[in-house]
Amino acid sequence: MSTTLSFQTTPVQERSAAPTATAPTQTPDRWSSFEKGLFRFAFLYFFLQIVPLDWKYYRDVVSNWAGFSFGDIFRLAHYSPRFFDGPDSFVNWAILAGIAAVGAAVWGLRDQTRTNYDTLYYWLRVLARYRLAAGLLAYGFLKFFPMQSPLPSLSHLNTRYGDLSNWKIFSLSLGIVPSYESFLGLVEILGALLLLNRRTASVGAFIVLSFLGNVFLSNLAYEGGEYVYSFYLITLGLLVLWYDLRRLNNLLTLEQPTQPNRFRLVLPAGWPRTAKLALKAAFVLFFVGIYGAKTYAAYHAGPYHYPTTAGLPNAAGLYNVREFRLNGQVHPYSATDPVRWQDVVFEKWATLSIRSNRPVVLDQGNTEAVHPDDLARNYEFAGAAGRHYYGYTLSADGQTLNLQNRNQLEGPDKLTLHLTRPDASTLVLSGTDAQGQDLYVVLEKRNKKYLLEEASKTGRGAGLKL
């Protein structure tokens, strides 16, 4: 396939009898040796950052092709090259930079006669635009349909402020204002759509850089786990904006006469242009149409951060521990007793949390992940101390609870408890704990009101009493 480059100028119309004159065709700029060397490095570096070269990435695409969920699409859009297991780090960037530096040196030795890289620069910017748009759409729809930061659970509302990590406080604070979360998602989606058009790409890059700068600083300030990825998106935005940055600075800051960039890539007629339109349409259909529809459906199905299995019927709420016996010995209430339960929360789903003085091994998870399996959804207890979280199953007769500690960092912790309900507000649990000790607990439900719930009933303009 051959491509031609045309540098077009606008004819100057004369209001006289003289014939119309056309300005001479511009000639391509000649790049300096430094500019060419810098571009070779930048092209290889960003190419390695953008284009997935890991075979496992394409394995996941093929294996999920028949039925992509919104979580599958999110994981594809969240790709970044990694050489080590564990959290992402800038070490991966350093390795890519080393590979790009070696490649640029070899490239320079074999390509010393080229005067510029205008065409490759054009294609690099295309890759950056679409990669950045995919990342923004992946997060944008999760915010627009407010799911990325869900409303706090009952356990969260009954956890002491000091027992929450900085990032958990930030996430819960965003979750209680879903309309603002939707606005943030709309900004990301708008910026992504502007990036899909060459004429509006710089405007879109300017918008998303302002947004992503705030995301990056929030990750640093609140100890979030996405600071590397957010900075990665910032570098892509800078690459896109750099194309017009000098001209914009001359025009808006220095107030100097500025010529627009007339470079335009002209593809041959026929299949090259058709392929270009088809690929763009496929991108929009997949990341906007399909992904948007699937996130909307997931939003109506319920928050993906919390388990979906229904909990004990008519049991959700906060319970005081009225009586606690271990091996037949009564343990009166004590804030320092490492054994006695202080209170228990039953969620609407199959989770109960227990507050006690027994130390919690804190789950430091602070990155965005969409888990299809209930057991892998750790948002409830990640970044939250003070409570132990148990998932449970209810026997067919409704009289036995089999509890499993959901925090794998705390090791095997299973309880088998017989359940009786003397009245609507009382639960009696009896059985054995993880150490095989006899356990007998009487729980009494509290009629506790929550500001968020009561405010949603009355509205912002009405009076509110708790």
Residues 343 and 283 in one domain: no
Which of 275, 301, 327 corresponds to the end of one domain? 301
Check residue 313 and report its DSSP letter.
T
CATH code, domain with 376: 2.40.128.280
Higher pLDDT, 434 or 298: 298
Residues 114 and 218 in one domain: yes
Higher pLDDT, 57 or 15: 57
Residues 79 and 111 in one domain: yes
Tell whether 308 is covered by a domain.
Answer: no
Region 7-30 average pLDDT: 45
Region 81-87 average pLDDT: 86
Tell whether 333 is covered by a domain.
Answer: yes
**From CA 365, how far away is CA 362, in angstroms rounded?**
9
Residues 216 and 150 in one domain: yes
Residues 284 and 412 in one domain: no
Token pair, residue 26, equals: 């511009």
**From CA 281, how far away is CA 336, in angstroms rounded?**
62
Residues 267 and 345 in one domain: no
Residues 30 and 107 in one domain: yes
**Among 38-52, 73-87, 96-110, which stretch is predicted with the lowest mean pLDDT?**
73-87
Which of 267, 301, 335 corresponds to the end of one domain? 301
**From CA 308, how far away is CA 463, in angstroms rounded?**
35
Q: Provide the domain count of the chain.
A: 2
Tell whether 462 is covered by a domain.
Answer: no
Residues 339 and 258 in one domain: no
Tell whether 62 is covered by a domain.
Answer: yes
Q: What is the pLDDT of residue 21?
A: 39
DSSP 320-387: EEEEEEETTEE----SS-SSSEEEEEE-SBSEEEEEESSPP--B---S----SSGGG--TTTBTB-SE
Region 134-157 average pLDDT: 96
Tell whether 224 is covered by a domain.
Answer: yes
Q: How far is CA 54 from each of CA 79, 101, 210, 328, rounded to the nearest angstrom?
A: 10, 20, 31, 59
Query: Residues 32, 33, 35, 38: what is their CA dihedral angle, to the nearest 10 degrees?
Result: 180
Tell whether 357 is covered by a domain.
Answer: yes
Residues 293 and 323 in one domain: no
180-196 tens-digit pLDDT: 999 999 999 999 999 99
Tell me the whole-structure pTM to 2 decimals: 0.87
Token pair, residue 170, equals: 């930030």
Tell whether 423 is covered by a domain.
Answer: yes
Tell whether 192 is covered by a domain.
Answer: yes
Q: Which of 132, 123, 148 is nearest to 189 (CA)?
A: 132
Residues 235 and 109 in one domain: yes
Residue 326 belongs to what domain range?
317-454
Which of 301, 325, 358 corresponds to the end of one domain? 301
Residues 189 and 258 in one domain: yes
pLDDT tier, 461 (very low <50, low <70, confident <90, very high otherwise): low
Residues 145 and 108 in one domain: yes
